[in-house]
A = this chain, B = another copy of it.
Amino acid sequence: MKHIAESTVRRLSLYLRFLEEFEAHGHQTISSGELASQGGTTSAQVRKDLSFFGSFGKRGLGYSVSDLSSRLREILGLGRPWKVVIVGAGKIGAALAQYRGFRERGFRIVGIYDVDPQSIGLALDGVTVRDQRDMETDLMSLNAEIALLAVPAEVAQPLTDRLVAAGIGAILNFASTPLHVPSHVTIRSVNMALELEILSYALVNRDA
């Protein structure tokens, strides 16, 4: 298949959210225009995004909410649960461990790791924090596919290397430093201070 832009995948993910909401409200069908207005985009964009994967709509009518939902779930790989480990049980790691949104969408936290003896042994939302030294063996036996990295910037790269060596497939990085991984591993970063700086820029250049 042709390469799909990240911005497209991000929007598909949003569409899926709206569809689920629509489904909960008992709606059967939805038009590209309705989907667009929810997501702050245009109907043409919605149709183009979907067209990369097939034609799921009925002309004159729109899309079946339930059909499109399941097609999107399939496209996004949400048909099955994913096993996720959290590395770092500090404030952010702990908040992530207890975040409802992950479980709801099929991301199951199967392990949490830290180095701090104070944290090791704590139960966070049913999962016990384990020693970071156990990380590799656990990863092998659990076969976790995704890691959430919530550790100080200084140790982010070495821990990334360990995760990669242990066969992780994807990493979501919350440290404020860019990480380097081999090309078969997917990495994304969430950098909150950087988001604030973008807001700062916008505030300063409001009228420009």
Which residues of A are interface residues toward B (Cβ below 8 A)?
1, 4, 6, 9-10, 12-14, 16-17, 38-40, 75-78, 82, 84, 91-92, 94-96, 98-99, 101-102, 104-105, 107, 145-146, 169-170, 172, 176-178, 180, 184, 186, 188, 190, 192-206, 208
Residues of B within 8 A of A102 (CB): 192-193, 196
Residues of B within 8 A of A84 (CB): 196
Contact residues of A: prevailing secondary structure: helix
By the criterion CB–CB under 8 Å, are B192 and A206 in contact?
A: no
Complex CA–CA separation, A169 to B203 (angstroms): 7
Nearest-neighbor residue (CB-CB) of A79 within chain B:
B204
> Are A13 and B178 in touch, CB under 8 angstroms?
no
Which chain B positions have C-beta within 8 A of A6? 198
Interface contacts beyond A13-B194, A76-B200, A78-B197: sample of 19 additional A-B pairs, CB < 8 Å, sorted by A: A4-B205, A13-B197, A13-B198, A14-B194, A16-B197, A17-B177, A40-B178, A40-B180, A76-B201, A82-B196, A82-B200, A91-B95, A92-B95, A92-B99, A99-B192, A105-B196, A146-B199, A170-B202, A186-B203
Tell me which residues across on chain B come within 8 A of A13, comparing CB atoms: 194, 197-198
Residue of B nearest to A146 (CB): B199
CB of A13, distance to nearest CB on chain B (Å)? 4
Q: Is the beta-carbon distance between B197 and A1 smaller than 8 angstroms? A: no
A-B contact pairs, 15 of them (CB 8 A): A6-B198, A9-B197, A17-B176, A76-B200, A76-B204, A77-B200, A77-B201, A77-B203, A92-B99, A102-B196, A104-B193, A105-B193, A146-B203, A186-B203, A188-B198
Contacting pair B172 A192 (CB below 8 A)? yes
Closest to A39 in B: B178
Nearest Cβ in chain B — how far from A27, in angstroms? 18
Report Cα–Cα, A176/B205, bound state, in Å. 27
Q: Does B172 contact A199, Cβ atoms closer than 8 Å?
A: yes
